[in-house]
């Protein structure tokens, strides 16, 4: 892994789970990790219930848009986390792959999205501790 690890989150539409995961990692890691998200068949917009659920915890993803999964995005990432995209994600040697089994928020209201959001946060916290743990600065 490079000095600054990079993570790619992939789901089918890049409108729900992968958007929440990317937002959580950006929020919790700051500039310690490079974050990308993409979909194998991107939707036209991020799921409004997902936007609302993230806004409830102080994370604004209204400016995010679903992005198409590219080979370059996978190659540029140290860790690739898939969330229900099956075999759509290309596999390259030397990358770490994780497949997170999560409920799909598509077509769900914000009440159904909240537990998915919270589960993703817990997984992000674990991943962050593995790839870019906070280290106390010398002399503090």
The tokens describing 122, both together, are: 């817990």
Q: Reading across the β-sheet that carries 34-39, which strands appear in turn?
A: 34-39, 6-11, 79-82, 96-99
How many angstroms from the chain centroid is the CA of residue 48?
Answer: 17
Which of 7, 89, 124, 131 is flagged as catalytic? 89
Active site residue 80: no
- Rounded CA-CA distance 54/8 in Å is 19
User: In terms of C-beta density within 10 A (0-12 exposed, 13-18 middle, 19 or more buried), how is residue 111 classed?
Assistant: exposed
The tokens describing 44, both together, are: 């036209």
Which of 7, 8, 10, 11 is flagged as catalytic? 11
- Rounded CA-CA distance 140/138 in Å is 6
Q: Residue 121 gets which letter from DSSP?
A: H
The tokens describing 68, both together, are: 């198409």
Which of 85, 120, 127, 132 is flagged as catalytic? 85
The residues annotated with a catalytic role in the active site are 11, 85, 89
């Amino acid at each position: 892994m490079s000095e600054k690890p990079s993570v790619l989150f992939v789901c089918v539409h890049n409108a729900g789970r992968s958007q929440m995961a990317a937002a959580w990692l950006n929020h919790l890691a700051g500039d310690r990790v490079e974050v990308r998200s993409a979909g194998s068949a991107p939707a036209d917009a991020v799921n409004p219930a997902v936007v609302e659920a993230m806004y409830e915890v102080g994370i604004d993803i209204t400016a995010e848009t679903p992005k198409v999964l590219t080979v370059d995005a996978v190659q540029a990432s140290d860790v690739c986390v898939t969330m229900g995209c099956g075999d759509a994600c290309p596999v390259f040697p030397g990358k770490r792959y994780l497949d997170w089994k999560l409920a799909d928020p598509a077509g769900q209201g914000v009440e159904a999205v909240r537990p998915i959001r919270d589960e993703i946060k817990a997984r992000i916290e674990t991943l962050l501790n593995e790839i870019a743990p906070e280290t106390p600065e010398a002399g503090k």
